[in-house]
Amino acid sequence: MSAPTLLRLRGLSKFFAEVPVVDRVDLDVVQGEIVMVVGPSGAGKSTLLRCINRIEIPSEGEVLLDGVNMAGETRNGKLVADPPRAAARKRRRIGMVFQRFNLFAHLTALDNVAIGPHRVLGAKLSDARALAAEQLARVRLSDHVMKRPAQLSGGQQQRVAIARAMAMRPVLMLFDEPTSALDPELVGEVLEVIRSLAVEGMTMIVVTHEMQFAREVGTRVLFMDGGRVLVDAPPGEFFASEHTRAREFLRRVHAAPAT
């Protein structure tokens, strides 16, 4: 039996000053898939993620999570926008990890992870901290739970951010260039955590410039340019793609000097 469709995008578009940054994207993501999104700067990759979890409100189209419209409910044939609390409940089911870590500087790693379950989900502080300790162990930070962000490396801070997102029990994880702000020697530890989540069966959409990681971990690769998905294929097919723009992109990526 095939896995159920978890996420469905239909005609998703986002315009800024009448310019389509995301342009009529249709996408189905089944449970357990790891979708890697690649493409040049300005292709619309990050905006696509931000439209999925409604940090950005789409200009057109639908985002359905488990068959539920993220924008609201249909009543008498018309879409009625969700009130803020209902919208927030829907968004909790999607975790997101950004390029920057966005941790609370005055809180320990433990309390950075516990604050969501405590403040948002209403868990007792002791229970939220126990959950936070579990999630920090999951990203191999058990020895650093009482450290504040300034005492952690960039890679460790990003792993705290991943633990914080996972503590909210999401059904879908979005990663927006999670290694782009890291020194090269710290990239591997973050990618290894994402790799472990893939092994556990977490459904993920990952915007990345790490091509080898996309090839090894992704179940699908989307290539975006000009706001549109130009290629949607398994990694083996994508990296052997005859699509002119995709081949040009890969050639440039592979020719770029290491930094």
* Alpha helix stretches (DSSP H) within the chain: 45-52, 84-91, 109-115, 125-138, 154-166, 184-200, 211-217, 235-239, 244-255
Exposed / middle / buried, residue 84 (Cβ in 10 Å: 0-12, 13-18, 19+): exposed
42: which residues sit within 8 A by CB, 6+ positions away?
none
* 3-class secondary structure, 126: helix
Give percent above pLDDT 70 in the chain: 98
Query: pLDDT tens digit string along 50-71?
Result: 999 999 999 999 999 999 999 9
pLDDT recorded at residue 96 = 95
Neighbours of 167 (CB within 10 A): 26
pLDDT at position 171 over 60: yes
Average pLDDT over residues 111-136: 96
pTM: 0.93
Give yes or no for residue 100 having a pLDDT over 90. Answer: no
**What average pLDDT does the structure give for the chain?**
93
